[in-house]
Amino acid sequence: MVAFRSTDTSGRTTGLLLRCILYSLLALGLIIVDKRYDHLGKIRRFLSVVAYPVQVAVASPFEGWDWFRESVSSRETLRADKAKLEAELRLANFRLQRYEALEAETQRLRALRENTAGVANRFIVGNIMDLDIDAFRERVLVDKGARDGVFVGQAVLDAGGVFGQVSRVEELTSEVILVSDAAHAIPVQINRNGLRTIAVGTGDMTRLKLPYLSTSADVVAGDLLVTSGLGGGFPAGYPVGTIAEVKRDPAQSLAEVEVRPAAALDRSREVMFVWLKTAEAQSTAAPGPSAASPSAPGPAAPSTSASPPQHPGTPKK
Amino acid sequence: MALSALGALALAVMPLPTAVDAFRPDFLVLVVFYWSIESPRAGGLALAFAAGLALDVIRGVVLGEHALAVTLMAAWATHLRLRLRVFSVLSQSLTIFALLTGYQFVLFWVDGATGNPVTTFSRWLAPIIGALIWPLLAGALSRLHDR
């Protein structure tokens, strides 16, 4: 038996039922007001600032341990890391040269078509806080908030591709819903043939699915999925994932398509918040977008102009 | 009391590997139950309500959801407390299991009513784990309380 040592053994707690009803009504009222109206934003922000120290206090030992391990790592490890990073940087620079030329060209083509949908304009980097918000939803907390200009619905990328979007903004932090959350959907396009559809999360960080493709749709395993930029939330042309598996059941009208996300959803520590160019800013900036990239003047090979950057997709059947 | 609640709040958001994450018991709720049974006048339903609100803010769900669930179940625990104190460990754990299941049910209901249901079965694991660690947690808390 667990020892309760309390001397408070009076049979009744006065008005327990009354207080229970009172608090429950208060909670119900909060739920309704929070759901129906948006008046609680300020209260929520204030409370989240109060909660921030707790969140930092919990996250810091784990981050501190990482820092400690890094700072005592040996000279050899550091040298090896440095060599590896330099090699990666060199490779990335090679790729970038081509990318800048392509981007300049894309900008010009877009300007011709007056199509300003989804061109990324500005980035800031945020660190994912080492916290589990909810075991059943794929959300993470990032240390950038309203103070940094983050807004709800903003696209979030990581080094590999599309990470998610901002679902809630507090003063100092924001909550990002991952592309793999079961409640998340993102407009995408198959890079090989431009087929547009919607990628929906599954609640599993390693899988997305495309539930709205018919069995006759031209999609094969290995196809690269990129954002289509439709709907305006996400910049166009960023990788979302690669098709892992296509199941076609002739009895069904829709194919079951599984996608492996491109972003390292379970491993990323840093993510980028993206601001899209607005139509006006785009039209003024359109003539000289390549000004920032003098290293890559002139158009790239003509054959690359129609299709976005390289993709690992298999050729058409 | 406030310290134990803060500690439990920290445990509730502490990072765990994803594989173990679904098995995390609702520490804060268990601590609230403990105080509801041990000395309902110290924290009472106000503590329960505040703890629930803290969970709402940290988890980013609709305000009042956890507050409602914790308040209702803490009231029930307070109502049962005289009986609970003389129960055997097994009966106590079973009662806590019932309370935690009720807690999850209220959350489930509010989730559904506000339009973002979580339908994975793993959410019903937490009451089982919670009931299993209850003797340990209550023992530890009463040690600390005795100091």
Q: How far is CA B138 from CA A11, A39, A150, B57, B132, in A?
A: 22, 39, 43, 26, 11
Find how far residue B57's CA is from the centre of its chain.
16
A61-73 residue pLDDT tens: 777 887 888 777 7
List chain B residues with CB under 8 Å of A173. Answer: none
Q: Which of A31, A48, A136 sits opposite B65 (nearest CB)?
A: A31
pLDDT cut 70: percent of chain B above it: 93
Q: Could you list the mean pLDDT of each consecutive 10-residue stretch along chain B, which spans 147 residues?
A: 76 70 82 86 84 84 88 90 86 92 90 76 83 89 78
Q: Which pLDDT value is given to residue A1?
A: 45
Secondary structure letter of residue A222 according to DSSP? T
Q: Which pLDDT value is given to residue A2?
A: 54
Q: Which pLDDT value is given to residue B119?
A: 66
Tell me the whole-structure pTM to 2 decimals. Answer: 0.62
Contact A131, B13 (CB under 8 A): yes
Q: Which pLDDT value is given to residue A244?
A: 92
Determine contact: A38 vs chain B, CB below 8 A.
no
Q: Which pLDDT value is given to residue B137?
A: 87
Output the six-digit token pair for A13: 């707690």
pLDDT greater than 90 at residue A274: no
Helix (H, G, I), strand (E, B) or coil at A142: strand
Q: Give the gyration radius of chain B's Cα atoms.
A: 14
Beta carbons of A135 and B122 less than 8 Å apart: yes
Exposed/middle/buried for A170, CB within 10 Å: 0-12, 13-18, 19+? buried
Q: Which pLDDT value is given to residue A12?
A: 54
pLDDT greater than 60 at residue A302: no
Q: Which of B15, B57, B88 sits opposite A51 (nearest CB)?
A: B57
Helix (H, G, I), strand (E, B) or coil at A57: helix
Count of CA atoms in the C-beta half-sphere (13 A) of A74: 3
Q: Which pLDDT value is given to residue A261?
A: 92
Q: Which of the residues B11, B13, B78, B108 would you substitute to probe the A interface, choosing the one with the greatest number of A C-beta atoms within 10 Å?
A: B13
Contact B22, A203 (CB under 8 A): no
Instruction: Single out the residue of B5, B66, B56 nearest to residue A44, CA to CA.
Output: B56
Q: Which pLDDT value is given to residue A4?
A: 63
Output the six-digit token pair for A238: 């960023």
Q: Which pLDDT value is given to residue B73?
A: 92
Helix (H, G, I), strand (E, B) or coil at A125: strand
To the nearest whole angstrom, how far is the Cα of B120 from the nearest Cα of chain A? 7
Q: Residue type for A202, please?
A: T
pLDDT greater than 60 at residue A76: yes
Secondary structure letter of residue A138 according to DSSP? -
Distance CA A173, CA A168 (A): 9
Output the DSSP codes for A202-251: -SSTT-EEETT-BTTS---TTPEEEE--TTSSS-TT-EEEEEEEEE--TT
Query: Who wins on pLDDT, A44 or A9?
Result: A44
Distance CA A7, CA A204 (A): 50
A147-175 residue pLDDT tens: 888 998 899 988 888 999 998 888 888 98
Secondary structure letter of residue A308 according to DSSP? P
Q: Which of B22, B87, B92 sits opposite A135 (nearest CB)?
A: B22
Count of CA atoms in the C-beta half-sphere (13 A) of A96: 10
ipTM summary value: 0.79
Residue with tokens 């209550």: B138
Lowest mean pLDDT segment, chosen from A117-121, A285-289, B67-71 = A285-289
pLDDT greater than 70 at residue A134: yes
pLDDT greater than 60 at residue A193: yes
pLDDT greater than 90 at residue A95: no
Could you tell me the maximum CA-CA distance found in chain A, to the nearest angstrom?
88
Query: Who wins on pLDDT, A90 or A10?
Result: A90
Distance CA A225, CA A207 (A): 13
Which letter, b or e, does each residue of A241-250 get, where b requires 16 or more Cβ atoms within 10 Å of its Cβ?
Answer: bbbbebeeee
Task: For residues A281-305, give the mean pLDDT.
Answer: 39
Q: Residue type for A151, please?
A: F
pLDDT greater than 60 at residue A291: no
What is the sign of the dihedral through the CA atoms of A191, A195, A198 and A204? negative
Beta carbons of A134 and B60 less than 8 Å apart: yes
Q: Which pLDDT value is given to residue A9?
A: 53
Contact A166, A154 (CB under 8 A): yes
Q: Which of the residues B3, B63, B89, B137 would you substitute to probe the A interface, choosing the one with the greatest number of A C-beta atoms within 10 Å?
A: B63
Distance CA A167, CA A140 (A): 10
Query: Who wins on pLDDT, B65 or A55?
Result: B65
Instruction: Single out the residue of A150, A168, A164, A177 nearest to residue B56, CA to CA.
Output: A168
Secondary structure letter of residue A268 according to DSSP? -
Cα distance between the two ends of chain B? 12
To the nearest whole angstrom, how far is the Cα of B131 from the nearest Cα of chain A? 13
Q: Which pLDDT value is given to residue A280?
A: 45
Q: Which pLDDT value is given to residue A5?
A: 57
Determine contact: B29 vs chain A, CB below 8 A.
no
Beta carbons of B15 and A16 less than 8 Å apart: no
Beta carbon pairs, A and B, within 8 Å: 146
Q: Which pLDDT value is given to residue B19?
A: 66
Beta carbons of B10 and A57 less than 8 Å apart: yes
Secondary structure letter of residue A233 according to DSSP? S
Output the six-digit token pair for A128: 């994912």
Task: For residues A109-130, give the mean pLDDT.
Answer: 69
Contact A193, A316 (CB under 8 A): yes
Pure H helices in chain A: 16-36, 41-71, 75-113, 279-285
